[in-house]
Each structure stands twice: as structure tokens, then as C-alpha cells.
Amino acid sequence: MTIRLPNFFILGAGRSGTTTLYFVLRDHPEVFLPTPKEPTFFSEPFQVIRTPIRYAKLFEGASDAKAVGDASHAYLSHPDAASTLRAFFPDARFVVTFRNPADRALAMYSYMLENGYECYPTFERALAAEDHRFASARFERRCPHYFWNFMYYRSGLFGAQVARYLELYGRDRFYFTTLYDLQREPSQVIGEIEAFLGVTPTSVGDLPRYGSSKGVRSIPLQYVERTVIRRLARRHVWPTPALHRWVNRWNRGSPPVMRPETRHMLLARFVPDLALLHELTGIDVLAAQRGDDAAADDAVS
């Protein structure tokens, strides 16, 4: 039996529409995307799938699929993923979607909070802790989730991240878009991605929304849910399955917010990198968010 491995990757950015792309493309009869959505095998040491054999087994159902993919968003922010993928997949194609990096930072914080990974009760406090976390080998070694997901500013430096890939792959190996274009023109964007991947175009209606995060009422309770209740519920230890459902209903809170001055500061810090991203890809993320007609000129291969 021939072992199928990915010939394309949905690189990210995290919290920028990758889950929607995963589910839409997974339903295409000529596309295979595995479960879990994000194996993260090439983002060591944070790996959901840790061995080559287990990674290969994810794609046993690929059979004759024309496009076989891996949708691990960690590969965009991970400093070594580009060179690793180049070594193993020199002919791969990449789909990358972006959003306003300040909004993405808040969305990532919300995700980390909701899932019991983040201990700071406000986005501003978590952002203020980033430099310390980044410099702390102890934090990197012991953090409970993918390290770069705690780097709310640094993981939004899309220009620098894309530059790593473009040093190793030709520009024609990439399809770049934005969350905003995907939301406004789903049929056009999905059709272009299908053509980019070499699969038969399909009809796409309104896209379902995935990945919207909420806040939590109690951070300690969410920590206990993640570290104890969720693990026991997966093993069907009574009564944790019911308790897991109850906690996730009761502990939902309002989505976190960002102070206007924080948003202004973040956008100012992102300006040089956004300029680099535009230079490399033709994508003007902020213009795309505003809906400017020229936002994505020359962005698509």
C-alpha cells in the first residue's frame, strides 16, 4: 500500500479562518484532511502527534485524493517549521489566511482563556507578560500549550513568518488571502483555493462559522476543567462527562475586550511587519478589513 503524505498545508494564521477552511475543504471529494485538524507534528516540542508512524497513519484514508493536507496553524509561527517542511515536502503548496493582527491577538487570548491555558484575567495583563514569558526558558519548557500561542504580539508578525517560507519556496507555491475576503466572497476564495490545489471546483454557499471563543466566569474553574475534569471525561469516568458539560455551560462568560489604547499601541507596533507582509504577498490586511477594493491586488498566485 502506498503511503500518502500531505502535498499541501493550511499554515494559518491561527484564529484567522483556518478552521472554516479545514471543514469546507475536508468535504471536497478530491481533498483529504485528517482528524485531528492540527497534528502539529512538525512543530516540536509541541506535537499532538509525536511519532512518524502515527503521523503517517493519519493519512491512511487518503487513497486517491488529489490534495492531501495538514491544517496545523503552528507551522506559520514556529521558527523552525519552514525549514523542516522544506526538507520533507519540497513540492508542497501552502494556503495562508490573515486578519488584523491586533484582533487576532485578542482572539487567541480568548481561545487560550476559554480552554483553561491562560491565567491572566485581562488581555492587557497577558500582553504585558509576553516579554517575560518569551525570555523564560522555564515558561517555554512548562507552558501547558503551544508556546507561540502565548506570544500574542510576536505570533502576529505575519510578514516575518511568511518571509521564512519565501526564502525556501517559490512564490507560486502559496495562496494568500484574508479572513475578510473569505467572509465576503466565500465562493470566489474557495474556488480559487480549489484551483490552486488542482481539484474540481465545487459550489460553496454561506460558510459556517467555527472557532468563535467566549470568555469565562472563573479562570481557576476552567483550569480544573482542563487539567482534571476533561481528562477524566475522555475516559468516561463517572460523573465527569456530565460535569464537563455543566462546567462548559455554566462557566461561559462575555468575550474578552481590548482597551482602545491597547489596540492603538498594538497596531502601531505591527505597522513595519504589515508593510513587509504587503511587500511580500500583496496583501494589505487593514485595507481588506475595511473592504477597500484594492485590498488584495496581486495577492493570489
pLDDT digits (tens, 9 = 90+) for 57-114: 999 999 899 999 999 999 999 999 999 999 999 999 999 999 999 999 999 999 999 9
Measured at the CA of 84, the angle between CA 81 and CA 88, to 5 degrees, comes to 135
CATH code of the domain made up of 8-103+156-211+270-290: 3.40.50.300
pLDDT at 1: 61
Would you say residue 290 has pLDDT above 70?
Answer: yes
Scanning the chain, the segments in alpha helix (DSSP H) are 18-26, 52-57, 74-77, 81-88, 101-114, 123-128, 130-135, 137-142, 158-166, 179-184, 186-197, 219-224, 230-234, 240-250, 260-281, 285-290
Q: What is the mean pLDDT of residues 151-164?
A: 99
- Cα distance between residue 195 and residue 93, in whole Å: 12
Omega prior to 36 cis, within 30 of 0: yes
- Looking only at the bridges linking them, the beta strands covering 8-12 and 93-98 are parallel
Question: Could you report how far apart the first and last alpha carbons of the chain are, in Å?
Answer: 34
- Cα distance between residue 72 and residue 9, in whole Å: 8
- Cα distance between residue 113 and residue 106, in whole Å: 10
- Reference 22, options 11, 149, 112, 78; nearest CA is 11
Would you say residue 275 has pLDDT above 50?
Answer: yes
Record the pTM.
Answer: 0.91
Does the CA dihedral 80-83-87-90 come out positive or negative? Answer: positive
pLDDT at 180: 97
Residue ranges per domain, the chain? 8-103+156-211+270-290
